[in-house]
Amino acid sequence: MAHLITKLHTLFSMKDLGPLHYFLGVEVKYIGNCMHLSQFKYALDLLTHIKFTEAKLISTPVSCGQKLSAYDGEAYENPAHYSSVVRALQYITITQPDLSYSVNQVCQFMHAPKLSHWKAVKRILRYLKATHNHGLLYKPRNARLFAFFYADYAGNPDTRHSTCGYCIYLGPNLVSWSSKKQKTVSRSSAEAEYRQLSYTAAELSWLQSLFKDLHLHLCQPTIWCDNVSSIALASNPVFHSRAKHLEVDYHYIRENVVSAELLVNYICSQDQLTDLFTKGLSSSRFKLLVSKLPVVPPPISFRGPVRRSQPLVVTNSS
C-alpha cells in the first residue's frame, strides 16, 4: 500500500489522510484488530429530519408473516415523501443488512404507495431508532468463501413471484447479500430454490475472480442449502429429464460442481441464515439470525480521546 501511494504521488497531487474513519455517511471504528462499519450519524439525521427521534422502539423491522400488497387500503397522500424516506432507508442497508427484506418490500410500492405501506415504513423507522448505532463487524480470520441462500416460494401475494435471498461470507465476515423478488414465476419450490442457487453461484464466481485479481486465491467455496431437491439437481444428472425448463441454470451449476469449483451441501432449516432476507420472523428468531450476520453495536473501547494539556502553537523559529 505504501508503494502504491508513493507511485500515485508521482502522478497526482494528493494527500494521505491516514486510516479511514468516515466516508459517504459510513463511519469506521477500529477496536483492536476488528473494524466496525455503521451509519450512526446518517440514521440519526434521517430520524431527526422526519421527526422520529421520540418514536417508540420495536424489536423487528417487519411483523412475523407480513406480506404487503399493491391493493392494500387507501392511497398515501404524499408519495414524494414516501419515496424520499424509502430511498434513505435503502442507503442504510449498506451497513444494516437486517433491514434488507423490509426495505425491499416497501421499495416495490414507491410508484403508488398505500397507507398500509407507510405504516410498514414507520415500523422500519421505529426499529432503526432502536438500532441506529448497529453495523457490520469485521474480523481477520481464515479466508474461506461460503454462502447461504433461501427462496420463499410464491411469497408475493400479487404476482406469486418467489422472494429470494443470499448471504456470502469470507471467513466470519459478511461481504455480499441480497433480498429481492425473482423475475419469473416458479412452478415449484424446487424450481425457485434451484434458480436462487444459480444466482448465488454466479455471485460466488464473481467474488472469486475479484479476489484472484487481488492475488488472493481461495479454495473451493461452499453453498449451504436446506432444499434436498436443489442439491440433487446440482449433483445428479439423472434428474435432468425432470427439469428441462431449468436447463440453462442446470448446466451452469453442474459444470461448477463437476469441475470441483463449487460444493453444494445440506444445512438444517433451523440453521438457515437467509430466512431474514425472505420473510418476516418472530423477535427471538430474528435476533438470533441478526447476531450471526453479525450486525451489532460498536464494541466497547476503553481507549478515550487523545487530549492535549496545552494548545498546540506554531511559532516562527526566527
pLDDT along the chain (318 residues), means of 10: 87 85 92 92 94 91 89 90 95 95 93 93 95 93 89 85 92 93 83 87 91 85 87 68 60 76 87 90 92 87 44 35
Residue 101 vs residues 5, 56, 66: alpha-carbon distances, Å: 40, 21, 11
Q: What is the pLDDT of residue 159?
A: 85
Stated pTM of the model: 0.83
Q: What is the pLDDT of residue 17?
A: 82
Q: What is the pLDDT of residue 87?
A: 95
**Which residue, chain included where needed, has cell 486465491?**
217
Q: Distance of alpha carbon 172 from its chain centroid, rounded?
A: 14
Q: How far apart are CA 101 and CA 79, in angstroms?
A: 21
Residues 6+ apart with CB under 8 A from 263: 220, 221, 222, 223, 257
Peptide bond connecting 294 to the previous residue in cis, omega within 30 degrees of 0: yes
First-to-last alpha carbon distance for the chain, in angstroms, is: 38
- Superfamily of structural domain 142-279: Ribonuclease H-like superfamily/Ribonuclease H (3.30.420.10)
Q: What is the pLDDT of residue 165?
A: 92
**Which residue, chain included where needed, has cell 406480506?**
67
Q: How far apart are CA 87 and CA 262, in angstroms?
A: 36
Q: What is the pLDDT of residue 98?
A: 95
* Nearest in space to 223 (alpha carbons), one of 243, 199, 246, 239: 199
With beta carbons less than 8 A apart as the criterion, state whether 164 and 153 touch.
no
Element containing residue 254 per DSSP (H, E): helix 247-258
Q: How far apart are CA 144 and CA 306, in angstroms?
A: 37
With beta carbons less than 8 A apart as the criterion, state whether 277 and 179 touch.
yes
Read off φ and ψ for residue 46, nearest 5 degrees. -65, -45
Q: How far apart are CA 44 and CA 147, in angstroms?
A: 32
Residues 6+ apart with CB under 8 A from 128: 43, 46, 47, 61, 89, 92, 96, 99
Q: How far apart are CA 194 and CA 254, in angstroms?
A: 12
Domain locations in the chain?
22-131, 142-279
* Nearest in space to 147 (alpha carbons), one of 164, 179, 163, 171: 171
**E strands in the chain:** 22-23, 26-31, 34-38, 135-138, 145-152, 163-170, 173-181, 222-225, 263-266, 295-296
Half-sphere exposure of 118 (CA within 13 A, CB side): 18
Q: What is the pLDDT of residue 257?
A: 80
Which sign does the torsion angle of CA 228, 230, 234, 236 carry?
positive
Q: How far apart are CA 25 and CA 92, in angstroms?
A: 9
Residue 95 vs residues 61, 133, 164, 249, 279: alpha-carbon distances, Å: 15, 10, 20, 31, 20
Q: What is the pLDDT of residue 245?
A: 58
Q: What is the pLDDT of residue 46?
A: 94
